[in-house]
Structure 1
Amino acid sequence: MAPSQAGHVPTLDNLIKSFNDLPLEASMDSLIFLLKRRQIKGDDCAKATAHFLRHVVAKSKWTSVNHLIEQVRSYGTRLAQAAPLEPVIGNVVRRVLGLIRDEAAEDRNADDVASETASDIQDIQSLAPGAPPPQPLQRATTASPVRPTLGSITSGLLVSNSMFNLLSVAEPLGSPLTGASTPMSSALHASVHALRSEVMDGIEEILDEINQADDQIAGFADIQIHPGDYVLAYQPTKTVERFLIKAASKRRFTLLLAGLQVPDPSAEPPYAALRKRLAAAGVQTINLASNGLMAYIPRVNKVIFGAKAVYQNGGLLVDSGCCVAAQAAHEYLKPVIALCPVYKFTPEDPSNEVVRGELGDPSSYVSYANGPAVDLLDIENTVTDYIPPELVDVYLTNLGPQTRHHLASILADHYKTEDIAFSLQFDEDS
C-alpha cells in the first residue's frame, strides 16, 4: 500500500531509517512506491535494495537456508518488477543470494570438520584405561605372530593417557569422554541466529562496496588522464565528476562538457559546482552543445562517461546521447572509457526494451501550449541509450581497468551459477 500522502513521500535516507520501525510489508510497499515514481534511481536503487534485504534477513521468520533463499528471491522479484529499467536491483539480489550460499557452505564444512573430530575422539576413547585393546591383525604368513613387548605397550598407553587428559581438560564440565560419545557436530552446528548474523554482516560489506566504489574508481584517474589531454565527458554522472576532480588534483588537462541542456534563465547553469572546482585546480572547461560535438572529436584524446549497467555481452546502459559520442570516438579511433562499479555488472543480456531506450517526458522539447504541433507530431524523448560492446575500449571499475574479455571472470567471481540462471523478471502468473 502506498503512503497516504503523496506530497510527504519519504526520501531514501528517511526510508532507510524507517525500516527499523515499520513492519516488513509496510517497508516493502514504501520502497516499491518510491521506485515506481522514479524518486529512487541509479545508485540509490542499489543502496535501498541492500538495506531492505538486510531487514528481510533480520526480521523475516525462516528456519533453513532454503527458506531464506526463497524469501530473498520473492522480495527481490517484487522490487525488480517495480523498477524493471534498474538492473542494479537484480544485481544486489543475486549478490545477497550468493552470500547466503557461501555462508551455508561454510557451515556445512564446519559440520564435516566437527564430525571428523568426533570420530577422532571416539578412537581416543578406545585407548582409554579399561577399554578392550584392539585386536592385532592376522597376517597370512607361516611365521609365528610377533607379540608386542611390555615397553611398547607401556609407551603407547602413556601417549594415549596424555592425549586423553589434554582433551578431558578442554571438554566442558559435565561432559566426560567416558561412556556415551558427546555430540560434537551438533555443538558446532551453526544456528539460525549465527547464520542470520553472518549474512547481515556480509550485506554490510556489500553496502560498503557500493559507498566506496566511486572513490576507488577515482583512484585510477591519474593513470587514465595524462597532462595536456583533451577529455570529453558527456553528461557526467556523480562517478565521473569525482573521477575528474581527483584527476585535476594531479593532472592539468582540458575538459569538454557535452550534452548540456539549455537551462532555465533563472536556474543555475548545469555542472556549475563541477566547473568551479575544476577551475580552482587549474583545469580549463569548455561547454559544448550536442550539435557541436563532432567538430571537437578529432581534437579529443579520450571520451569518458558513466554507465548505469554493464551487461553480460559487454554492452552498456547509459544516459541518452552517450552512444553518439561513443560512435564518433570509434570512427576517429579515440579510446572510450566507461566508469562502472562492479555492482553494476549484470549477468543478463540486454532486452529489446534496453536497446530501444527508456522514454521520458517530451514536454521539454515541445510544449503542450503548441496545440497544432502536438497534434501533428509524435515526439519521443529517450532518456537512456544502449552502447554495443564494440564501441567500448576500457571498463574502469573499482577493481581496476578491465577489457571486454575479462567480464566473464568478473561475473563468475561475484555471482553464483544458480542465481545467474534465475530470472528476476517473472510473469504475472508465475
Structure 2
Amino acid sequence: MAPSQATHTPSLEKLVKSLKGQSLEASIEALIFLLKRRQVKGDECAQATAHILRQVVAKARWQDVDQLLSQIQSAGSRLARAAPHEPVIGNIVRRVLGLIRDERQATIPIRPSPAVLTSTAGLQVSKSMFNLLSVAEPDGSPMTGGSTPLSQATQPTSVHTLRSEVMDGIEEIMDEIGQADDQIASFADIQIHPGDFVLAYQPSKTVERFLIKAASRRRFTLFIAGLEPFTNGTSDAPYATLRKKLSAAGVNTISLSSNGLMAYIPRVNKVILGAKAVYQNGGLLVDSGCCIAAQVAHEYLKPVIALSPVYKFCPEDPSYDVSRGWLGNPSTYVSYGNGPEVDAIVVENTVTDYIPPELVDVYLTNLGPQTRHHIASILADHYKTEDLAFSMQLD
C-alpha cells in the first residue's frame, strides 16, 4: 500500500521536499505511487530517480561496494518496474552504478610492495620469504596481498569516503539533468536560420525552451502540429504559453492538425521533435503522432532534428512494446459521458510512438549535434559494460 502522504504529493517538487522527513522506504514507495499514476513523468523521472538513489547511498545500510551496488540495483529495479514506459529511469540507475564503480577504483588504497631492506652501510640484508610476507603494517598487523579485503581499521574510513564521493557524483548528475535543456537551447541559433519555416509536433518542454531561445535571435515561422484532445471547451488552447512568448519575440505561430501535415510540409525547412529516449540503434521513443511528422518529412526530404539530452540515451535496442507504443487513458480523446454504444466499442489511445533511425537526421544533445554513428561512443562514455544488462533484470 502506498504511504498516506503520497496522496498529498502531486508533484516532483513536493516529493523532493518531503524526502528529508521520510524514511528511505517511505520515499521509494511515494515515488513508486506517483510513477504508477503518471504524476511524475518525462524529464521529471530522471531527477526523481537521482534524488531517490542519493537517499539510498545516504541512508541504506551497506559496508562495502558490492552491498551498495546491490542496494542501488534493488531500488532502481522497483522504480523501473513502476514505470516501464520511462526508460530514463534505467539510464539514471546505470549512471549511478557506473559512478560507484569508478569511485571504488579511485578510493582503493595502493599498498606498497615488500622492498629489499638495506643496512646503513648500503649492504643488502638477507630476508627469508617468510619475513618478506610478514612485514608489519603501521598498526602492527601483518600486511597481506593487495587482493584481500581492507582491514577493520581502514574499512570505516573507506566507506565514509566512498559514501561522500558517490553522493557528490549524484549531485553532479542532477546538475547535468537540470542544465541539459538550457545547453541544448544554446545551439538554437545554429539550427534555426532567419526566415525558416519550422514544424514542431507536440513540442516538449525541451523543444519549447529551444524555440524560445531561437526566437530571441531569429525571426522565423513556427507550425505547431499535434492531436487535439477532447476537452469540452474547458481548457486553454494547446501551448498557449509558448505561443504568447514567441509572439512577444516576433515569431508567427500557425496551428496544424495531424491530417494537415501533407499540405504544409513542402513549405517547412526542418522538423523539430523532442525525444523521450534515444536507443542504441538510433531509434526514438516519442509522443504519439510524432512518427507521422517524421515520415512525412522523410518523404519530402526535410531534415528531422531530435532534441535529447545524453541522459536519455539508452544502451539497449527497442523492444516490441516500444515499437507498438504504450497505451494511455482513451478518455483524453473520446468522451464516455453519453451514448449507449460505448460498451460496444474499444478505444485505444497510444501515448508513445517509435521512430526508426533512418527517419532521423540530427540528434541535438547538450553535448552538441550528433549523428547516428556517434551514439555508440556516447553510450560507451556514460555506461559501464557490467551495467548494460540492468533492464534484463526487470523481467
Identity %: 71
After superposition, residues 281-430 of structure 1 pair within 5 angstroms as: 281-423=249-391, 425-427=393-395
SS in structure 2 at match of 1:20: helix
Alpha-carbon offset, residue 3 of structure 1 = 2.7
Query: What do the CA deviations read for 1:311-341 (whole angstroms, capped 9, x no partner)?
Result: 1111111001100000000000000000000
SS in structure 1 at match of 2:264: helix
Query: What do the CA deviations read for 1:353-402 (whole angstroms, capped 9, x no partner)?
Result: 11111112222433223434323332211111010111001010000111
Alpha-carbon offset, residue 424 of structure 1 = 5.2
Query: What do the CA deviations read for 1:396-430 (whole angstroms, capped 9, x no partner)?
Result: 00001111111011001000000012335534xxx
Cα distance in 1 between the residues matched to 2:232 and 2:222:
23
After superposition, residues 252-291 of structure 1 pair within 5 angstroms as: 252-261=219-228, 263-291=231-259
Contact 1:362 1:379 in 2 (8 A): yes
- Partner residue, 2:194: 227
Question: Is 2:201 the counterpart of 1:240?
Answer: no
- Partner residue, 1:107: 107
Query: What do the CA deviations read for 1:21-73 (whole angstroms, capped 9, x no partner)?
Result: 21111111111111111111011111110000001000111111111101111
Cα distance in 2 between the residues matched to 1:22 and 1:6:
11
One-letter amino acid of the structure 1 residue matched with residue 362 of structure 2: V
SS in structure 1 at match of 2:391: coil
Contact 1:260 1:270 in 2 (8 A): no
Cα distance in 1 between the residues matched to 2:264 and 2:122:
92
Change (3 A) 1:7 1:75: closer
Cα distance in 1 between the residues matched to 2:374 and 2:344:
49
Cα distance in 2 between the residues matched to 1:17 and 1:365:
34
Alpha-carbon offset, residue 260 of structure 1 = 5.0
Contact 2:6 2:34 in 1 (8 A): no
SS in structure 1 at match of 2:55: helix
Alpha-carbon offset, residue 6 of structure 1 = 6.8
Contact 2:10 2:39 in 1 (8 A): no
Query: What do the CA deviations read for 1:244-267 (whole angstroms, capped 9, x no partner)?
Result: 011111111110111152654342
Contact 1:230 1:300 in 2 (8 A): yes
- Partner residue, 1:182: 138
Q: Paired residue for 2:123, among 110, 133, 138?
A: 133
Query: What do the CA deviations read for 1:113-146 (whole angstroms, capped 9, x no partner)?
Result: x425xx5xx66x735x4x772279xxxxxxxxxx
Cα distance in 1 between the residues matched to 2:5 and 2:91:
31
Alpha-carbon offset, residue 310 of structure 1 = 0.8
Cα distance in 2 between the residues matched to 1:96 and 1:71:
11
Cα distance in 2 between the residues matched to 1:311 and 1:208:
23
Cα distance in 1 between the residues matched to 2:205 and 2:337:
34
- Greater Cα shift, 94-103 or 244-253: 244-253
Query: What do the CA deviations read for 1:203-250 (whole angstroms, capped 9, x no partner)?
Result: 000000000000000011011111111000001010000000111111
Cα distance in 2 between the residues matched to 1:373 and 1:353:
29
One-letter amino acid of the structure 1 residue matched with residue 186 of structure 2: G
Q: How many residues align?
A: 375
- Partner residue, 1:218: 185
Contact 1:45 1:88 in 2 (8 A): yes
Cα distance in 1 between the residues matched to 2:199 and 2:333:
25
Contact 1:65 1:104 in 2 (8 A): yes
One-letter amino acid of the structure 1 residue matched with residue 112 of structure 2: S
Cα distance in 1 between the residues matched to 2:69 and 2:136:
37
Question: Is 2:52 the counterpart of 1:85?
Answer: no
- Greater Cα shift, 277-286 or 415-424: 415-424
- Partner residue, 2:59: 59
Ranges in structure 2 where 5+ consecutive residues have no aligned partner: 127-134
Alpha-carbon offset, residue 11 of structure 1 = 2.5
Change (3 A) 1:135 1:260: closer
One-letter amino acid of the structure 2 residue matched with residue 363 of structure 1: S
One-letter amino acid of the structure 2 residue matched with residue 218 of structure 1: A
Contact 1:230 1:253 in 2 (8 A): yes
- Partner residue, 1:30: 30
